[in-house]
Amino acid sequence: MTTARTLKLNLGPQHPSTHGVLRLILELEGEKILSCEPDIGYLHRGMEKMAEGLTYIQNLPTVDRIDYLSGCFYSELFCRTVEKALGITISEKSKIIRVTLLELNRIASHLLWIGAFLMDLGALSPFFYAMREREMILRFFEKLTGQRMMYNYFVFGGVRKDIDYIEDIAEIVRVLPEKIEDYEKIITDNPIFIQRTRGKGILKPETAFNNSITGANLRASGVNYDLRTTDELYKGFEFSPVVLDGKDSWTRYKARIMEIKESIKIIEQGLDKLKTCGKLEQKLINPLNIKLPEGEYYSEIEAPRGLASIFIKSTGEDKPYRLKWRTGSYYSINLLRELLIGEYLNDAIAIAGSLDIILPEADK
């Protein structure tokens, strides 16, 4: 309800810092936010409805599109569920390939976030620096899979073809750490950046649990919950989840920077393993007549924007009876209702940016 003293502001859906088509209906008093009502659905493609009409192999290329920044994760999730249902185990090398590509994808996603977040805060250069490094990763993906974003590289039972261009990954791993150092120099200790993000958008663990916030946002609130530690796929890789106890926007930024470093470690291990494990041997199943046995299948993965999970109910036919995606951004958007209350408009933009919201993921 607007009174004479308050102003209703429609932030989005066409707005430079809503990262897509998010619409926030804000009620302002001066520049202070009294209430926030997120409105999504401008990018709804009906992924779940569509899945019910397509066979499993027809579904496979569509799942990358759920999140255009980290398509690998949704591919992996879908393949993993089908493999689990059919009882297929994938070969050791394709596991290593999958982990390496997933982590590369995670770095690409985080890099874009860093650029976009700093852009929200009004800094120009970090966006272009981050894009430059992301470009290296995308170029590699383009060489390997023929696509820059929608890779469609993972298939039921392994990967589409053997990995190539390993020297490109080695180059990325060699260059990235020093570039990350550069980011830290220009961003992390910048007094204005600290002033804009330190102590802003405090996300207490209880609030995070209550709002189903996962991923880096939760770990920046001091909760050690990283699905990768219990993930079968990551077995044999050594890394430590990044857990920071700052709870504010700055910590969420720092957590992502450190996660990139952690991912680089995983990729390095993957590279060492790839060099020694010879040619790819995998038995792919005939994708044209996949029929999942009757039952319900559920799997989850640690995606860049938090926990992503898939639920498939099959009635024994060649199409899923019901397919449900759970994505991190959807819950982050819901969190804005609570998190933005009492903040000022320009802090609100920074806080919303720090949660790493991607709209196609929320709209599905």
Partner 1 sequence: MNIEKLKSIIEECELENDKITVKNKLHEVVNFLKTQLSFDMLKSITAVDLGDEIELIYNLFSVIDEEDALLSIKVKHEAESISDIFSSAKADENEIYDMFGINFLGNEDLKRLYMPENWEGFPLRKDYIQDDTRLAWNDNGENA
Partner 2 sequence: MNYLYHLYMEFLSKYGIPELFGNITFYIIPFCIVAAALLIVVLGLVLIERKLLGWLTQRKGPNRVGFWGLLQTLADAFKLLIKENITPSKADRFLFNLAPILVFIPVMTVLGIIPYCAEFTFVNTSTNVILYLILVAFPVLSLFLGGWASNNKYSLIGAVRGIAQVLSYEVPITFVVLSVVTLASSMNMTGIILAQYSRYGIFGWFGIPCIIGFVIMFICVLAELNRCPFDLPEAESELICGYNTEYSGMRFALFYLSEYALLFANAIFLSIMFLGGYLSPFGAYLSHLILGDSSLASVIVYFEQVFWLILKACLIIFVIIWIRATLPRLASFDLLKFSWAVLLPLSIFNLFFTVVYKFVTGGALCGLS
Residues that bind partner 1 (CB under 8 A): 40-41, 44, 46, 48-49, 52, 206, 209-212, 223, 225, 230, 295-296, 298, 300, 307, 309, 311, 313, 321-322, 324, 326, 330-331, 333-335, 337-338, 363
Min CB(88)–partner 1 separation in Å: 21
Min CB(230)–partner 1 separation in Å: 7
Report the largest interatomic distance among the alpha carbons of the chain, rounded to a whole angstrom.
Answer: 72
Min CB(125)–partner 2 separation in Å: 5
* DSSP structural state of residue 289: G
Nearer of residues 93 and 326 to partner 1, judged by Cβ: 326
Nearer of residues 190 and 209 to partner 1, judged by Cβ: 209
* DSSP structural state of residue 305: T
CB 63 within 8 A of CB 73: no
* DSSP structural state of residue 99: H
Q: 160 is in the binding site of which of partner 1, partner 2, none (Cβ under 5 to 8 A by kind)?
A: none
Distance CA 64, CA 361 (A): 10
Nearer of residues 160 and 179 to partner 2, judged by Cβ: 179
Nearer of residues 308 and 348 to partner 1, judged by Cβ: 308
Residue 275: exposure state from Cβ atoms within 10 A (0-12, 13-18, ≥19): exposed
Name the residues that contact partner 2, by CB under 8 A: 7, 9-10, 15-17, 31, 118-125, 127-129, 132, 186, 190, 192-193, 195-196, 344-347, 349
Q: 334 is in the binding site of which of partner 1, partner 2, none (Cβ under 5 to 8 A by kind)?
A: partner 1
Q: 31 is in the binding site of which of partner 2, partner 1, none (Cβ under 5 to 8 A by kind)?
A: partner 2
Distance CA 152, CA 314 (A): 23
Nearer of residues 129 and 153 to partner 2, judged by Cβ: 129
Distance CA 215, CA 176 (A): 22
Cα 238 from chain centroid? 21
Q: 132 is in the binding site of which of partner 2, partner 1, none (Cβ under 5 to 8 A by kind)?
A: partner 2
Nearer of residues 225 and 344 to partner 2, judged by Cβ: 344
Min CB(23)–partner 2 separation in Å: 14
Q: 359 is in the binding site of which of partner 1, partner 2, none (Cβ under 5 to 8 A by kind)?
A: none
Among 229, 234, 236, 240, CA closest to 276: 236
Among 258, 242, 237, CA closest to 100: 237
Q: 193 is in the binding site of which of partner 1, partner 2, none (Cβ under 5 to 8 A by kind)?
A: partner 2
Question: Any idea of the CA torsion for 278, 72, 113, 170, to the nearest 10 degrees?
Answer: 10
Nearer of residues 237 and 330 to partner 1, judged by Cβ: 330
Distance CA 101, CA 99 (A): 6
Question: DSSP strand E in 101-198: where?
Answer: 154-155, 158-159
Min CB(132)–partner 2 separation in Å: 6
What's the Cα-to-Cα distance from 123 to each of 256, 342, 348, rounded to whole Å?
18, 25, 16
